[in-house]
Structure 1
Amino acid sequence: MADSQKLLTNSLTNRERTAALLLLTLTVFAIGTAELLPMGLLMPIANETGVSISITGMLVTGYALGVVFGGPVLSAITGRLPRKIILSLFLCIFVIGGIVSTVAPSFGVLLVGRIISSLAHGTLFGTMIVTAKELAQPGKEGRSIALVGSGLTVSVILGAPLGTLLGHQFGWRFPFLVITCLSTAALLGIMKLIPPLPRVEVGSLKRQLRIVSRPSFLLVLLITIFGTGGTFAAFTYITPILEGISGFSEGWITIVLLIFGVGSFIGNIVGGRLADKQLMPTLLGGILLLAISMAIFTWASHDKVATVISVFVWGIASYSIIAPLNILVLQKAGDAQELASALNISAFNMGNAIGAFIGGLVIDSSLGLSAVPWVASLVAMIGILLAIWSITLDQQEYRKAGSFS
């Protein structure tokens, strides 16, 4: 089965391969934008549905929980289906959730629509990452994963701000409608352009669970959680830092955030290319640069020019580790690829939540807002220690295997 998969992948022309990868990138962009939409539309949604801002925030929290718990469970259940069918099925579910959200007559129905979409999110992302790896030319898996993952960075840079603008101009339902139409177009494209990749042999559910419960695999998930958590411990509160400490106006804050987004796009592409050559050095170097850049931002945030430079480097570092983490997870997943990838998506979301929570604790403590970046740096340092531990375990297992050969 694996040989037939390689034959089919190798038979694709560069044009067919590129078209399929760009289609997956578009799909990631649509899903990433849909996840972020409510953050910029809380006020108009709250005003129309008649609920408080805090209750409206459940649209974000409920979605995140659906991704964290729904992705691994549904990936395990559907693990033996062909990947093209999984993509089509779950993107259809995602579209249904978008339709429900667009026409929702009440907040409760809107929340149900968001949860429906979130349940498809984790499995879709996990399967698209595996598919991107399989569509890649040999030795270029990292850059293919980075290309597809760039859809997420573009959703942060362009999708979410544009969605907020459209929502304030034409009502909050309109951007939901646009994303639903875009997702429908992506669904039709997947049905036409994604080749019917044969499945590699998938282990039983018991075997898959045994793989993803191994200490070496769980260690990688922890690296994802703390690497991502380090970024979001500070990035969640970057606006009040830029306004209250750096002294930027509202217009300039948007520009600084755009600079972070440009850096993240560059970091994602560079990290994917370097991961194809040296996986663990790329991962370690990326997390180290992340920790250093956030620590420097603690002092740089008091000077506007230094702030812009450090934010740009921070953006590069934060997304340079995404492709290496995805590749590392897939390397350790064996025949539990989809389940492992979905668990890693859950770990990314868990890192977002934990990081934001830690940053909030720091703000409420005697340390205050100015201490958030260096505390975030310490969180990222935990990721470095875990990565070193992972390398040590791999070396021990390699030596042990050599002693038995």
Structure 2
Amino acid sequence: MSTVSPVKGTPLPTPLPWPGLLALSAAAFTAVMTELLPAGLLSVMAPAFGVSEARVGFLVTGYAAASFLAAIPLTAVLRGLPRRPVLIGTLLGLACADALVAVSSSYALTFMARLLAGAMGGTLWAMLVGYAARMVPAGRRGRAIAIVLAGITLALALGVPAGTALAGALGWRTAFGALAGLAVLLALFARWSVPGFPGEPPYARLPLIRVAARRGIRPVLSVTLFLLLGHQVMYTYVAPFAAHMGFAHTGLLLAVFGSATVVGIWITGVLIDRHLRTTLLAALSSLAAVLVVLGLSAGAPAVLIGAVAVWGVAFGGAPTLIQTALVDASGPADADVATSLQTTVYNAGIAAGSLAGGLALDGMGPGALPWTALPLVAVSLAVAIVGRRYAFPAVRPSGPAVESPGRSGPAARTVRPGVMR
């Protein structure tokens, strides 16, 4: 039975599976909240454990390190299991980790809980994009991924400030307890709303090295790495750079950036399925231009605010564009493995970019930050330009449409948009 237009007899677009996509987006939101919430609570968590604020900051570092180290091996171990139980298990793992932090009076136990959270977060990030890609027709894949990754933007723009405010009103333990409860509720919602796809049977599992060797994968990972390097050089040290520009309100600047990322991901959602390459090149070019402007505009607060707004719009959509290109290059069936590679590269970019920015700040002062970041972003732009054939083609592959839940192997089938079989 075909779903066709009563006017022209052409297939109507398949509706997006909103409940399932929103569940995945909420999972992304929860993971980012779990990762970053301690950063806003350094001064109130430190006395509870009798440690310095710097050691509380290591709770964020520990999460990132565990995510970095666990994404690839855990994805490899779990790729044969049905997808929905793995998703629910990672959410419950996050809930346990957040609950442990909420009740722990030991810094060592809290740090171990953060390592568990990081391992769960790395596993979750490796599967979210691939899950979304398997739920929709190929022609709507970009929009579905944009919806899922909007959870990151909402966590940065709204979630972390709201969690910090809740901690200020009711205590930081309450904030972590609420986050644990949210993860449990989300696991229940995912059980109802997310389709149950099978894992990969042994004969269908490509070794990780063969997935990484596909022609389009390495350019996408290179763009990811150099973009995050350049971004983190500036973002990690935005406070001293704002002071260098004569602007003392770092919180307002971050609010401008966060709000602009919402606009960026909305624009990306509109354009990505038809104009992925053009939109990505525009975003990377805008980031490079922003860095030039910031490097040439010392002592101009108005320029700083405008540049940060453009930066937010450009960066807000970039992760969605890159992840969609990665799924196009790997295919939805191998997207979990490819995304585990990207998760590792992403966290490496964050760590190395922060280190590079710190070295530039200490050695040359805040005015050197844009010029340190610029060549890194320029490399990402250059790779995206030359990767036209395999990684970022002008015309995206149409590929299989929607995978039927619960089946795999030779008997698995795909459902074309507008056609029910």
TM over 0.5: yes
Partners of 1:393 and 1:323 lie apart in 2 by 18
Partners of 1:92 and 1:297 lie apart in 2 by 43
Q: What SS class does the counterpart of residue 207 from structure 2 fall into? A: helix
Q: What SS class does the counterpart of residue 391 from structure 1 fall into? A: coil
User: Cα offset for 1:290?
Assistant: 1.0
Deviation string 1:109-145 (CA, Å, 9 cap, x unpaired) is 0011111111011221221111222223441211111
- 1:256 partner letter: L
Q: In 2, are the aligned partners of 1:300 and 1:310 still within 8 Å (CA)?
A: no
Greater Cα shift, 136-145 or 26-35: 136-145
Greater Cα shift, 123-132 or 165-174: 165-174
Partners of 2:392 and 2:135 lie apart in 1 by 30
- 1:68 partner letter: F
Residue correspondence of structure 1 range 316-327 to structure 2 within 5 A: 316-327=313-324
- 1:357 partner letter: L
Partners of 2:380 and 2:232 lie apart in 1 by 13
User: Cα offset for 1:246?
Assistant: 3.0
- Given candidates 319, 331, 334, the residue that maps to 1:336 is 334
Q: In 1, are the aligned partners of 2:239 and 2:250 still within 8 Å (CA)?
A: yes
Q: What SS class does the counterpart of residue 321 from structure 1 fall into? A: helix
Q: In the alignment, is residue 18 of structure 1 matched against residue 18 of structure 2?
A: yes
- Counterpart of 1:63 in structure 2 is 63
**Percent pairwise identity:** 28
Q: In the alignment, is residue 298 of structure 1 matched against residue 295 of structure 2?
A: yes
Residue correspondence of structure 1 range 35-114 to structure 2 within 5 A: 35-114=35-114
Partners of 1:49 and 1:376 lie apart in 2 by 37
Q: In the alignment, is residue 287 of structure 1 matched against residue 280 of structure 2?
A: no
Partners of 1:142 and 1:211 lie apart in 2 by 21
Deviation string 1:139-181 (CA, Å, 9 cap, x unpaired) is 1211111111111111111111122222233322121111111
- 1:208 partner letter: L
Residue correspondence of structure 1 range 167-316 to structure 2 within 5 A: 167-198=167-198, 207-214=207-214, 216-242=216-242, 244-249=243-248, 252-300=249-297, 302-316=299-313
Partners of 1:92 and 1:203 lie apart in 2 by 30
Q: In 2, are the aligned partners of 1:267 and 1:320 still within 8 Å (CA)?
A: yes
Q: Say if 1:372 and 1:116 are closer, same or farther in 2 by CA, change over 3 A.
A: same
- Counterpart of 1:348 in structure 2 is 346
Greater Cα shift, 54-63 or 382-391: 382-391
Q: How many residues align?
A: 382
Q: CA RMSD in A?
A: 2.4
Q: What SS class does the counterpart of residue 81 from structure 1 fall into? A: coil
- 2:250 partner letter: I
Deviation string 1:311-336 (CA, Å, 9 cap, x unpaired) is 10000111221111101211222442
User: Cα offset for 1:88?
Assistant: 0.9
Q: In 2, are the aligned partners of 1:69 and 1:346 still within 8 Å (CA)?
A: yes
Task: Compare the two structures and name the one with the higher helix fraction.
Answer: 1
Q: Which residues of structure 2 form unaligned runs of 5+?
A: 1-10, 394-421
Q: Say if 1:264 and 1:103 are closer, same or farther in 2 by CA, change over 3 A.
A: same
User: Cα offset for 1:66?
Assistant: 0.8
Partners of 1:393 and 1:191 lie apart in 2 by 36
User: Cα offset for 1:360?
Assistant: 0.6
Residue correspondence of structure 1 range 141-156 to structure 2 within 5 A: 141-156=141-156
- 1:163 partner letter: G
Q: Normalising by structure 1, what TM-score?
A: 0.88
- Counterpart of 1:6 in structure 2 is none
Greater Cα shift, 107-116 or 367-376: 367-376
Q: Say if 1:78 and 1:192 are closer, same or farther in 2 by CA, change over 3 A.
A: same
- 1:337 partner letter: A
Q: In 2, are the aligned partners of 1:76 and 1:205 still within 8 Å (CA)?
A: no
Q: In the alignment, is residue 388 of structure 1 matched against residue 391 of structure 2?
A: no
Q: Which residues of structure 1 form unaligned runs of 5+?
A: 1-9, 397-405
Q: What SS class does the counterpart of residue 140 from structure 1 fall into? A: helix
Q: In 2, are the aligned partners of 1:260 and 1:314 still within 8 Å (CA)?
A: yes
User: Cα offset for 1:55?
Assistant: 2.2
Partners of 1:202 and 1:273 lie apart in 2 by 38
Partners of 2:380 and 2:104 lie apart in 1 by 41
Deviation string 1:327-351 (CA, Å, 9 cap, x unpaired) is 1211222442211112212222221
- Given candidates 349, 352, 361, the residue that maps to 1:363 is 361
User: Cα offset for 1:393?
Assistant: 6.5
Q: Normalising by structure 2, what TM-score?
A: 0.84
Greater Cα shift, 204-213 or 96-105: 204-213
Q: What SS class does the counterpart of residue 361 from structure 1 fall into? A: helix
